[in-house]
């Protein structure tokens, strides 16, 4: 028994030394993940570098799903320290992390974001229901009680009160947390308004209602939301789907589309009247704390009142802050490196 304990202790010690050894191969924090969280993380990175004189973290926009895959690849300098996410970590992702040796992870809720549908200021700002959005963008839609390939080519095909123009919507790819959130909060909700769907089992509903169309009207635009902004600015008949911060920062070029009569804004997202909002997170690899230079200090800056508090520099970029009580709870867990619970 004693020999077994010594062997286990030796194994842990070797693993720790291995992590520490390869970690010294870089002196910059490495961050991947959500394109929605990217501008917030970039802002914190710049502030951190300015205040500490340390190198600014390297921040890559890989999408939430892509970021989770990279983050959960293992422990050591060749693997990132944090990943941003526009949805919570999935059970399957957590299990992949555990299997690869990423055992201790801290989940940090940074605030809330509205999933925005936007159009150029030269275009028409619509007021759409979730049902109309589903009918415009789903691969298969309900017609006369049956699922059929989406026949709608123009907005007016869905409702005669809508513009007689082609449906052109730029949106995120399947690796994006924004895509996941849009499917959950808009597509499935719109789909469930049909009687045939109400009678379905939940798993069957998800399978039938989730796929986005691939025949042209919905265009996957990659993980760079700034490219969507540019395309909308160039085409007044095109619409785009992205996090609220990109609409907030481009209000001179873009306007928000109302969903169920409510336009996205800091006020409507904060008070819950805008029904297409979701939480934003980042995840920290705790094995890298105390090994990657500046990681603990960066996390502390991210969750500081100056960053994510009311009137903090992230709210100036469109982040909807947590309540003061919740911020304090999140801040303590983030700085202490509290282990997240396994997702259910």
pLDDT digits (tens, 9 = 90+) for 83-117: 999 999 999 999 999 999 999 999 999 999 999 99
Pairing of strands 254-256, 239-243: unpaired
- CA 328 to chain centroid: 22
d(CA 305, CA 299): 12
For the chain, which residues make up each domain, given as ranges? 2-113+278-336, 114-277
Measured CA to CA, the distance from residue 62 to residue 234 in angstroms comes to 25
Is a pLDDT exceeding 50 seen at residue 8? no
pLDDT, tens only, 206-231: 999 999 999 999 999 877 788 888 99
- 2-113+278-336 against 114-277: fold identical: yes
CATH of 114-277, one of 3.30.1360.170, 3.40.190.10, 3.40.50.1820, 3.40.50.2300: 3.40.190.10
Give the count of alpha carbons within 13 A of 37, CB side only: 34
Of 4-8, 53-57, 171-175, minimum mean pLDDT range: 4-8
% the chain with pLDDT above 70: 93
Q: How many CB atoms lie within 10 A of CB 124?
A: 15
Does residue 156 contact residue 163 with C-beta atoms inside 8 Å?
yes
Q: Rounded to whole angstroms, how far apart are CA atoms 20 and 79?
A: 13
| CA dist., res. 35 & res. 280, Å (int) | 11
Q: Is the pLDDT of residue 35 over 60?
A: yes
pLDDT at 12 over 90: no
Q: What sign for the dihedral angle of Cα 196, 116, 268, 326? A: positive
> What is d(CA 287, CA 150) in angstroms, rounded to the nearest whole number?
48
CA distance 19 to 13: 10
**331, two tokens:** 């801040």
Q: Give the phi and the psi of residue 166 in degrees, each rounded to 5.
A: -60, 140
State the pLDDT at residue 28: 95
Q: What is the mean pLDDT of the chain?
A: 91
pLDDT band at 24 (very low <50, low <70, confident <90, very high): low
Q: Note the CATH number of domain 2-113+278-336.
A: 3.40.190.10
CA 318 to chain CA centroid, Å, is 14
pLDDT at 25: 62
* Of 67, 59, 66, the residue nearest 41 (C-alpha): 59
pLDDT digits (tens, 9 = 90+) for 126-169: 999 999 999 999 999 999 999 999 999 999 999 999 999 999 99
Percent of the chain with pLDDT over 90: 83
Dump strand ranges (E) for 212-340. 218-220, 239-243, 254-256, 258-259, 277-285
Q: Taking residues 51-71, what's their average pLDDT?
A: 96
In the predicted model, is pLDDT for residue 1 greater than 50? no
């Amino acid at each position: 028994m004693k020999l077994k304990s010594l062997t286990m202790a030796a194994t842990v010690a070797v693993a720790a030394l291995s992590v520490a050894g390869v970690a010294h191969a870089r002196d910059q924090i490495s961050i991947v993940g959500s394109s929605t969280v990217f501008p917030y993380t970039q802002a914190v990175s710049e502030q951190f570098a300015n205040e500490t004189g340390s190198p600014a973290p390297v921040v890559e926009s890989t999408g939430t799903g892509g970021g989770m895959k990279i983050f959960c690849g293992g422990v050591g300098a060749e693997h990132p320290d944090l990943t941003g996410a526009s949805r919570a970590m999935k059970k399957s992702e957590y299990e992949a992390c555990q299997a690869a040796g990423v055992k201790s992870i801290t989940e940090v809720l940074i605030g809330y974001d509205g999933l925005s549908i936007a159009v150029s200021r030269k275009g028409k700002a619509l007021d759409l229901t979730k049902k109309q959005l589903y009918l415009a963008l789903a691969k298969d839609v309900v017609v006369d009680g049956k699922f059929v390939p989406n026949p709608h080519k123009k907005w007016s095909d869905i409702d005669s009160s809508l513009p007689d123009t082609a449906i052109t919507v730029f949106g995120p790819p399947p690796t994006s947390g924004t895509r996941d959130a849009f499917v959950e909060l808009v597509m499935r909700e719109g789909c469930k308004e049909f009687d045939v769907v109400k009678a379905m089992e939940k798993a069957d509903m998800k399978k039938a209602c989730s796929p986005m169309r691939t025949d042209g009207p919905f265009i996957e635009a990659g993980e760079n939301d700034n490219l969507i902004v540019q395309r909308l600015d160039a085409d007044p008949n095109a619409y785009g789907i992205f996090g609220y911060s990109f609409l907030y920062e481009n209000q001179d070029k873009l306007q928000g589309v109302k969903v169920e009569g409510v336009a996205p804004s800091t006020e409507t997202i904060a008070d819950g009247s805008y029904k297409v909002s979701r939480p934003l997170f980042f995840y920290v690899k705790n094995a890298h704390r105390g090994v990657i230079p500046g990681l603990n200090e960066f996390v502390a800056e991210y969750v500081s009142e100056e960053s994510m508090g009311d009137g903090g520099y992230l709210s100036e970029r469109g982040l909807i802050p947590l309540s003061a009580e919740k911020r304090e709870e999140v801040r303590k867990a983030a700085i202490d490196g509290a282990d997240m619970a396994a997702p259910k």
